[in-house]
Amino acid sequence: YLKAQEEKGMLRFITCGSVDDGKSTLIGRLLWDSQLIFEDQLAALEADSKRVGTQGENVDYALLLDGLQAEREQGITI
C-alpha cells in the first residue's frame, strides 16, 4: 500500500469560504474519494464520527482535518 502511495502525484489547491460553508468537509471528502486515507485513519474517522460527529450516522469528513480536542468539542475546525 505504501509503495502505491509513493507513486501518486501531489495536487495543491486553495479553498475559501465563510464560517460553516463546508471547507473542511469538502477537503475531507476529497481525501476519502481519492482513497488517500490509511486504514487506521479510516477506523478512527468512523469511530470519531459516531462519537462526536455532526452528521448523524454518516461519516463526518471534517474530522479528518480537526486534530485539536477543542475543535471537536466545539464542532469547528480552526
pLDDT of residue 60: 85
pLDDT of residue 73: 67
pLDDT of residue 16: 94
- Model pTM above 0.95: no
pLDDT of residue 78: 63
One-letter identity of residue 48: D
pLDDT of residue 17: 92
pLDDT of residue 67: 66
Range of the domain at 12: 2-74
Q: Which residues of the chain have pLDDT under 70?
A: 1, 53, 67-78
Cell numbers describing residue 24: 473542511
Which positions ≥6 away from 61 have C-beta within 8 Å? 24, 25, 26, 27, 28, 29, 31, 32, 45
Domains held by the chain: number: 1
Cell numbers describing residue 15: 479553498
